[in-house]
Amino acid sequence: DIVMTQTPLSSPVTLGQPASISCRSSQSLVHSDGNTYLSWLQQRPGRPPRLLIYKISNLFSGVPDRFSGSGAGTDFTLKISRVEAEDVGVYYCMQATLFPYTFGQGTKLEIK
């Protein structure tokens, strides 16, 4: 199975400041069709996961543009340009290139 490793596991951030989460996969996520099926999910407290970004860097509908994704191969990053109170929660990277689909351990974003 592909192991997804996120860092940090906890990220205290000041409101209005940027935040960055790293996700590393144990093998390349480039699919034979040329796509890289790496997505980012947000889970607010007591809520189900919500899709933020798909295929590394594409913003899902309704997601604020302060969120952005980047990376390639085995190294990926989620960035929030200016953290707002509603961004508190746990962020997961997920790979859907190879079965079984796997998730990172999650990074808890909290306000300082």
Partner 1 sequence: EVQLVESGGGLVQPGGSLRLSCAASGFIFSTYWLHWVRQVPGKGLLWVARISSDGSSTTYADSVKGRFTISRDNAKNTLYLQMNGLRAEDTAVYYCARWSGYYGTMDVWGQGTTVTVSS
Q: How far is CA 42 from CA 14, 31, 51, 77, in A?
A: 19, 24, 6, 14
**106 lies in the site for partner 1, by CB under 8 A:** yes
102 lies in the binding site for partner 1 (CB under 8 A):
yes
Residue range at the interface with partner 1 (CB under 8 A); choices 11-19, 20-28, 71-79, 96-104:
96-104
Closest CA to 41 of 23, 24, 14: 23
Residue 92 interacts with partner 1 (CB under 8 A): yes or no: yes
* 89: contact with partner 1 by CB under 8 A: no
CB 27 within 8 A of CB 38: no
Regarding 37 and contact with partner 1 (CB under 8 A), the answer is yes
